[in-house]
Amino acid sequence: MNTFIVKLTNPSAISNLHPHGTTGTPKTLNNYVIFKTLLSRMEVMGIPGVQSVEYDSKIDLEYDSVIQENAPQWALPWISNESTRYLNTRSGTGVDIYIVDTGVRDTHQEFGNRVRNL
């Protein structure tokens, strides 16, 4: 079984994936979905409405985590599906994180000195 992170051309294209495997339910990023299937990456790319496909993978960091005290909320209450108020009371152990980004300009003044290259 393969697990992919699939970017769709539009949210309704998720229905094209259903005959070929199991999909997650997008909540915030409506054009991205986790897709489990027996198909290869190239076969998934050929499904109408699929823009890009990446293998889902786990990354184990060899570094200790750092908990930032009084961290800015970065608009998390507005993008959260759970509540109108974002509150982080957990360490993140056992949580899967999916990052879809083109990069971070670590010299931006809003980050201050909080960005580290590992």
2 or 87, which is more confident? 2
Of the candidates 104, 65, 63, the one whose C-alpha atom is nearest the C-alpha of residue 88 is 65
User: For residue range 3-23, what is the model confidence (pLDDT) as tens digits?
Assistant: 999 999 999 999 999 999 999
Residue 8 lies in a domain: yes
The answer to whether position 15 is within a domain reads yes
Domain count, the chain: 1
Q: Does residue 117 lie within any of the structural domains?
A: no
Whole-prediction pTM value? 0.53
| Residue 38 neighbours by CB under 8 Å, 6+ apart | 1, 2, 21
Domain-embedded: residue 26: yes
66/91 Cα distance (integer angstroms): 10
Q: How far apart are CA 4 and CA 32, in angstroms?
A: 10
Cβ atoms of 34 and 4 closer than 8 Å: yes
pLDDT tens digits along 85-106 = 555 566 666 665 555 565 667 7
DSSP H or E stretch at residue 51: strand 50-55
Question: At 90, which CATH number?
Answer: 3.30.70.80
Among 39, 41, 38, residue whose Cα is nearest residue 5:
41
Per-residue pLDDT, 70? 72
Q: Domain limits at 28?
A: 1-57+68-111
